[in-house]
Chain A
Amino acid sequence: MSKTTQETESQNPNPNIILFLCRWCSGKGADLAGTSRLQYPPNVLPIMVNCSSRIDPQHVVEAFLEGADGVLITGCNFGDCHYKTGNYKTFRRMSILSKLLKQVGVSPKRFRLTWISATEAAKFAKTVTAMVDELKKLPPYKINGKGGEEL
């Protein structure tokens, strides 16, 4: 592949992704990916919280406003939540939020929610790689100029 085609394919060679991990499953899964020396792109900035339900929709929106190209939220599988029902709350909250983000024009590819258990290191690496690859194809996220010019 020549260099030029590579450049046109990846519009954004370095996407910034904010990754929210829960302490009990996904965080452990990410640790396992590290100790098992699985390769995944360094474009993610992990933020560990006690439970995925700790993440307020406002955190996600502010991540985008501060310049993130994507936000990935990971939590325990259904039924595995350390706090019993935390991930159900995350699910409901984030599915309404993703609908809302779609309405204001944020591509659904930029916002993802997945469940990763403590043993699923491979799934973790795969999810992160897939998301980074997808965002490389999109232009960097920029907030469009709103303002009062005439139509």
Chain B
Amino acid sequence: MKKINLAIALGATCAGCDVAILDLNEKILEVFDLVDFKFWPTAMDFKIDDLKNLKDGEVDVGIYHGSIRTTEDAEIAKILRKKSKVVVAFGACANFGGIPSLANMPYEKSMFDVVYKDVPSMDNPEGTVPQTSITIKGTELTLPGIRKDADALDAVIDIDYYVPGCPPMVPLIEQVVEVLKVFASTGQLPPKGTVIADTKTLCEECGRTKPEEISFKDFISPQEVQEIDPDLCLIPQGIICMGPATRAGCDALCTKMNVGCRGCLGPTDKVKDHGLKMISALTSLLDVDVEEDMSEEELHKVVDKIPDPLGTFYRFTYGKSLIYNLHSEEEIK
């Protein structure tokens, strides 16, 4: 059996995706039998030139994780595309822009001013912000430029397969290994555009009991939780859980630990916009007792329990959502 040439490149990422690959435990040995690493800077000694020096199409499977934040990220993605026969977007950042894409939210000030000048913990009296180049004693030092937006991988290159998750969980990576095994022995691959995860929603996979009629009285913030019924669905307990709109495949890791799903696997194929569907679902399940006697102000208080809908419902998917297309900087001025 011929070994597969594998390259793992990265953009704006926390490298959690790399750790997730190592989390395969003993199964990682199978991976080493199966593949030849051509590029994996996080785990081995590789530099970008090692990737550049490969022949075009020499890499069989190129995995990219992280979003496209700097000009260098975009450049690496383009090189990876050129060198690889198949490119896999790995993790929520490469799939949907992930948490870095929340920085695309329009601000009155520029991102650098917010991060390098206005943050209370910042001590920067001279107002220095990162520059792309500076000359010190006649030597020019350079840094990659920051792009206006942090985008998902498919904003810059064509992608063949998607593996969502933050990071992709062991059962998903095992599926990827199975795909690689089939590829190595028969040369066959799934159809282009396949999402290597389940097609159902998390609720199908989550083992909690769902009552016949689901309703709740009040949104409960995580710090207000007093006691959680370990077997009952989280939504009737008032805990925000993105499960009903989120793709399954993670083995319900979070809900098993009494934590509401945050939606890192992104929407299922049938959901167009992850957050909007969840807003719609959760607000209709809310069943406030004495609604009829409440003033408008009191009604506002009920929904004010969600102070940051963008961060709550689009934690991982803002970069690829419908509302991202509404994005308007001119309006907030």
Q: Output the least CB separation between A9 and chain B (Å).
A: 19
Residue with the greatest number of chain A CB neighbours at <10 A, chosen from B111, B310, B326: B326
Residues from chain A with Cβ under 8 Å of B288 in the complex? 88
Residues from chain A with Cβ under 8 Å of B272 in the complex? 58
Residues from chain B with Cβ under 8 Å of A146 in the complex? 104, 148-149, 151, 324-325, 327
Q: Output the least CB separation between A77 and chain B (Å).
A: 11
In the assembled complex, the Cα of A47 lies from the Cα of B145 at a distance in Å of 47
Q: From the candidates B149, B279, B300, name the one contacting A100 in the complex (CB within 8 A).
A: B279
Residues from chain B with Cβ under 8 Å of A93 in the complex? 279-280, 283-284
B322 touches A62 (CB 8 A): yes
B276 touches A92 (CB 8 A): no
Give the residue name and chain of the A residue nearest to B328 (CB): A105
Assign chain B's interface to a size class.
35 or more
For residue B4, CB closer than 8 A to chain A, the reply is: no
A97 touches B279 (CB 8 A): yes
For residue A32, CB closer than 8 A to chain B, the reply is: no
A83-118 interface with B by 8 A CB criterion: 85, 88-89, 91-93, 95-97, 99-101, 103-107
For residue A52, CB closer than 8 A to chain B, the reply is: no
For residue B292, CB closer than 8 A to chain A, the reply is: yes
In the assembled complex, the Cα of A85 lies from the Cα of B294 at a distance in Å of 13
B325 touches A143 (CB 8 A): yes
For residue B214, CB closer than 8 A to chain A, the reply is: no
Q: From the candidates A57, A58, A91, name the one contacting B299 in the complex (CB within 8 A).
A: A91
- Known contacts A78-B292, A103-B310; decide if A143 and B302 are in contact (CB<8 Å): no
In the assembled complex, the Cα of A103 lies from the Cα of B313 at a distance in Å of 12
- Mask, B1-22, CB within 8 Å of A = 1, is 0000000000000000000000
Q: Output the least CB separation between A100 and chain B (Å).
A: 4
For residue B48, CB closer than 8 A to chain A, the reply is: no
For residue B273, CB closer than 8 A to chain A, the reply is: yes
Residues from chain B with Cβ under 8 Å of A85 in the complex? 291
A46-102 interface with B by 8 A CB criterion: 53, 56-58, 61-62, 64-65, 78-79, 85, 88-89, 91-93, 95-97, 99-101
Q: From the candidates B110, B280, B291, B329, name the one contacting A56 in the complex (CB within 8 A).
A: B280
A105 touches B156 (CB 8 A): no
In the assembled complex, the Cα of A84 lies from the Cα of B87 at a distance in Å of 53
Give the residue name and chain of the A residue nearest to B105 (CB): A103
- Known contacts A61-B276, A92-B303; decide if A151 and B146 are in contact (CB<8 Å): yes
Q: Output the least CB separation between A67 and chain B (Å).
A: 12
B329 touches A105 (CB 8 A): yes
For residue B258, CB closer than 8 A to chain A, the reply is: no
A89 touches B284 (CB 8 A): yes
B146 touches A150 (CB 8 A): yes
In the assembled complex, the Cα of A150 lies from the Cα of B130 at a distance in Å of 13
For residue A144, CB closer than 8 A to chain B, the reply is: yes
For residue B309, CB closer than 8 A to chain A, the reply is: yes
In the assembled complex, the Cα of A144 lies from the Cα of B106 at a distance in Å of 10
Inter-chain pairs besides A65-B326, A88-B299, A143-B328, 10 sampled, C-beta below 8 Å: A58-B272, A61-B322, A85-B291, A89-B283, A89-B284, A105-B327, A105-B331, A141-B331, A149-B147, A151-B148
Interface residues of A (CB under 8 A from B): 53, 56-58, 61-62, 64-65, 78-79, 85, 88-89, 91-93, 95-97, 99-101, 103-107, 139, 141-144, 146-151
